[in-house]
Structure 1
Amino acid sequence: MSVGVEHRVERPALRRALPAVAWVCGALVVLAQIVYSMTAPEDRIFTTVASVAAFAVASVCDALARFGPRAAVLLVAVAGGGGLLAETIGVHTGFPFGEYRYTGSLGLEVAGVPVVVAMAWVMMCWPALLVGRSLAAWARPDRPLWLVVGIGAWALASWDVFLDPQMVDAGHWEWAHPEPALPGVDGIPLTNYAGWLLVAVLMMAALQRTVGGPRVTRELDLRSGPAPVLYLWTYGSSVWAHAAFFGRPLVSLVAGVLMGLVALPFAVALWRAHR
């Protein structure tokens, strides 16, 4: 068989395999998070890292299946590289999140930032972009850049209202000046969320301008991967976990409202896309 024929055979096979790999990783995310909730706090580091790694791989595969190699590379560069850069600047200067430090409990670090943190930016940045694109198109068919970026940035930054209290309580990082904070979300300064919004806006703008159009008929088609479902799973499981397992019912309420501003309409959009 010639090289050209081999490529024609392998590439469709690869395209068919990508969603399967993404869905397997998505299932591992759900499994790891369920195990996390049933594990003693001192033994949760493995499931934490496994969940983030599986979610990040699922997001990259989802981007590759929906939009092609360019989108996958851009996701890793913009969200992974950009997240690592923002966290490195933040750890060493206090900008844009406020003064904080990692405690060394999350494993391998680069410039004082755990690698798993950069992976977390990758894992949620992609579904947040899909949320932004979907809800912007729902509101305005021309889907202006500012609307996609605004919704996508909120979809990404509001998730941290769940994440930061959980990670601080687990001892993975700590804030030098945790006040003033959101009502009911003690221990996390408002500067953190302002920093998240700033970084999220930059990431969403960069990705929306560069990833191009999808190569699938329906942008939210779940046959391309689990990213839309994983975003909603993250929302629902976080509401439940903070109320039932982490002893933070007010975080469940406040973050549930803030992230729910986009998660709930997105659930409707996803349902409408598949009915």
Structure 2
Amino acid sequence: MRRVGALATAERFAPGVSAVALVLVQIAYPLTSGAGRDRVTVAVVLLSAGTALAHAAAARGIRYATGLLAIVSGLGLVAEIVGTATGVPFGCYEYAVDRLGPALAGVPLVVPLAWTGGLYPVWVVAGLLTRGTLARIGLMAVGAVGWDLFLDPQMVADGQWRWCDTDSGLPGLASIPYTNYLGWLAVALLMGALLTGLERTSRTVSAGLSTPDSRAGLDTVSPVFGSNAVPVAVFLWTWLGSVLAHAVFLGLPVSAGYGGVGMAVLGVPLLRHLWFCRRQPVPIG
């Protein structure tokens, strides 16, 4: 029994420990360059995916976490392989060679893990903000594009990938074509639909953690979001931390603005609810 209790405790605290490590490594990113920055980039991806999967397993069970990985990273890998080979759905692009570790068909294997690490917090927050399935899927897709408005400019500036069309993007971000964001929207919508199916077939585990119904809305969620505190915190850090990093430390003020606005679609109502809950008295008894 003692061993089982220790495993349950480790499972409970693993997402938070991983999230703290993720934040510390991301803070180190602007302080590095060259091969050192490449290693930090890989570490960020592994920690973000690890945090997402650890939380998913703790809150919903191993089966759910496995399904999450298969859907998001699996579909992400397929989309990237098809994308680099054909230009569909993102547009024509290619990854730098031998910078982010082993690759499959020209796609570094850490890239599909980045999809899981980045989209899971968006998926959780979208579920807290909406009552309906379609609304959640749509909001998650918009949030995914918002995240990519940070990710793509940062990685392009660092030379991790290159676009063939470098003059048909957003004002100030011409080097990244509009097709990229349309591709992200389409892939994220498909991921959201598949994740919805996963949630309907997965069984919530009872381990002292409660997962709010994705259709319940924020009004039924505790002020600290219960077991969803880690992905909520990671979402807020990704949003607000990226605005600061891009504007001040990475010399990318345009993407700081675009990404900040894109993720604000979820972030502003989330902050509003956090503020509202902060002002409510805590019931006694």
* TM-score normalised by structure 1 residue count: 0.88
| Contact 2:22/2:47 (<8 A) preserved | yes
CA–CA separation in structure 1 for the residues paired with 2:276 and 2:124? 15
Could you tell me which runs of 5 or more consecutive residues in structure 1 were left unpaired when the two chains were aligned. 1-5, 137-142
Counterpart of 1:161 in structure 2 is: 149
Matched, 1:260 2:260: no
CA–CA separation in structure 2 for the residues paired with 1:59 and 1:269? 23
| Contact 1:184/1:254 (<8 A) preserved | no
Pairing partner for 1:194 from 171, 178, 182 = 182
Alignment of 1:76-91 (within 5 A): 76-91=69-84
CA–CA separation in structure 2 for the residues paired with 1:210 and 1:44? 36
Counterpart of 2:122 in structure 1 is: 128
- Structure 1 residues 16 and 271, CA gap change in structure 2 (3 angstroms): farther
Matched, 1:242 2:246: yes
Counterpart of 1:18 in structure 2 is: 11
Q: In the TM superposition, what is the alpha-carbon distance from 1:266 to its structure 2 partner?
A: 2.1
CA–CA separation in structure 1 for the residues paired with 2:237 and 2:151? 14
Residues 24-65 of structure 1 show CA distances to partners (whole Å, capped at 9, x for unaligned) of 111111111111122235520111111110110110011111
* TM-score normalised by structure 2 residue count: 0.85
Counterpart of 2:139 in structure 1 is: 151
Alignment of 1:84-103 (within 5 A): 84-103=77-96
| Contact 1:109/1:115 (<8 A) preserved | yes
Matched, 1:47 2:47: no
Paired residues in the alignment total 262
- Structure 1 residues 12 and 236, CA gap change in structure 2 (3 angstroms): same
Could you tell me which runs of 5 or more consecutive residues in structure 2 were left unpaired when the two chains were aligned. 213-220, 281-285
- Structure 1 residues 135 and 225, CA gap change in structure 2 (3 angstroms): closer
Q: In the TM superposition, what is the alpha-carbon distance from 1:222 to its structure 2 partner?
A: 4.9
CA–CA separation in structure 1 for the residues paired with 2:229 and 2:67? 18
CA–CA separation in structure 2 for the residues paired with 1:29 and 1:167? 18
CA–CA separation in structure 2 for the residues paired with 1:26 and 1:38? 20
CA–CA separation in structure 2 for the residues paired with 1:203 and 1:271? 31
Q: Which secondary structure does the structure 2 equivalent of 1:107 belong to? A: coil
